[in-house]
Amino acid sequence: MMLNVAILGAGIGAKHLDGYLGLPDRYRVAAICDLDAEKAGALAAKAPDCAAVSDADAVIEDPAIDIIDICLPPHLHGPVALKAFAAGKHVICEKPVAGSVAEADRMLEAARDAGRMFAPIFQYRYGRGLYQLAALQERGLAGKPLVATLETHWNRGADYYAVPWRGKWASERGGAVLGHAIHIHDLVTAFFGPVTEVTAILDTRVNAIETEDCAAISMRTMSGGLVTSSITLGGADDRSRLRLVFDGLSAESGRNPYAPGEDDWTFTARNPEEQPSIDAALGEMEAEIARMPSGYVGQFAAIADSLEGRPAPVVTAEDGARSIELVAAIYHAARSGAHVHLPLDRDLPVCVDWVPGDIAVSG
């Protein structure tokens, strides 16, 4: 089945296009939509028979389009997705999928009512090291989750925040917790389960912006595993690291900030006598994992499989909504000093809008 896609937004949309072009027998990118005609045209020229357009509403209403891929500034994700579901389209949406818990809930309901897929982009899940860890976990070699440490230590300065919508609550909807660490938080929940408790300290220590750029967060997950997350945009370079400790083994990523699953991971048995079993399992799975696509190609392949009715490791709409709920819980914990439990009470003001003070914009 060939799926016709329209990409809305020619910024990160360029990475999405590369992903689709890696699956030419499954996707056809029919349109690139951006208000910057030159940018849209340059990107559309990379795909066969792809139109460059500026009218998002017309693209959404086009009966030839199967999937609307939203790569717009964060405050537009919810409104555009709701239009796409109303038009009967499947939706792929960059992170963050929504600007509030209430908006994420509305998007989930709209997708269910329309009978369409709502696929949040968490392409980091698709990588060699993560495939290995998932297979070890499935074989019972990892054991019970104990603790995890996460580092999102990136370098973001004046050039990054020269983009007008960045660093502002009304348009970016949040800072490093929302725009940077959301990926690594998603990864740990894929192996430890959804977060059930949060405490947090947030600060703006690096840049002259409205939103946070540093954080220290503690979490408990549904498995009982404890997680600490260290975040800063004041690093000397861009580095991400995960260390996940199970009672059977410890797994540690490389330092690749944009594809932590791509680097070689280490898997060390707690009991040295079990190391040969882990090494043997890794050897047995190597050929299969080597054939598995990574990054955007991996996620788009899973989406296509699911739409064709085949079992696939898709990131679900519920995963995307939980990622937004975790952001709200972190903001609530940091501002209140409270130990916050999830799922959140939907009557909490932070679920309606976490933007602080007199600059609040309804989600």
Tens digit of pLDDT for each residue in 304-319? Answer: 999 999 999 999 999 9
Average pLDDT over residues 84-89: 98
- pLDDT at position 326, please? 98
- pLDDT at position 357, please? 72
Question: Does residue 361 carry a pLDDT above 50?
Answer: no
Order of strands, edge to edge, in the sheet holding 27-33?
51-53, 27-33, 3-8, 67-70, 90-93, 118-120
> Which DSSP state fits 328?
H
* Cα of 212 vs its chain's centroid, Å: 19
Among 78, 85, 77, 7, smallest CA distance to 46 is for 7
Helix axes 317-336, 182-192, angle to 10 degrees: 110
pLDDT, one tens digit per residue, over 25-43 is 999 999 999 999 999 999 9
- pLDDT at position 261, please? 84
Q: Could you please report the per-residue DSSP string of 94-125?
A: PSSS-SSHHHHHHHHHHHHHHT--EEE--GGG
Domains annotated on the chain, with CATH: 3-123 (3.40.50.720), 124-292 (3.30.360.10)
Average pLDDT over residues 268-287: 97
In whole angstroms, how far apart are CA 301 and each of 258, 315, 319? 19, 12, 18
Q: For residues 311 and 322, give the distance between their C-alpha atoms in angstroms, rounded to a whole number.
A: 22
* Cα of 343 vs its chain's centroid, Å: 19
- pLDDT at position 359, please? 56
Up-side HSE of residue 188: CA atoms within 13 Å toward CB? 36
Helix (H) or strand (E) segment spanning residue 53? strand 51-53
Name residue 53's beta-bridge partners: 33
- pLDDT at position 257, please? 87
**DSSP three-state, residue 331:** helix
Among 75, 67, 71, 56, smallest CA distance to 111 is for 67
Rank 146-155, 168-177, 348-357 by mean pLDDT and report only the highest: 146-155
pLDDT, one tens digit per residue, over 153-189 is 999 999 999 999 999 998 999 999 999 999 999 999 9
- pLDDT at position 275, please? 98
- pLDDT at position 362, please? 39
Q: CA 343, 298, 230 angle in degrees (round to 5)?
A: 45
Q: Say if strands 266-269 and 145-155 run parallel, antiparallel, or are unpaired.
A: unpaired
Average pLDDT over residues 189-195: 97
- pLDDT at position 358, please? 55
Residue carrying structure tokens 């979490």 = 219
> Which DSSP state fits 240?
E
Using CA atoms of 233, 234, 239, 241 in order, give the dihedral in degrees to the nearest 10.
Answer: -80
Question: Does residue 263 carry a pLDDT above 90?
Answer: no
Region of poorest pLDDT, from 71-75, 104-108, 246-250, 265-269: 71-75
- pLDDT at position 363, please? 38
**DSSP three-state, residue 170:** helix
Q: CA 117, 122, 123 angle in degrees (round to 5)?
A: 105
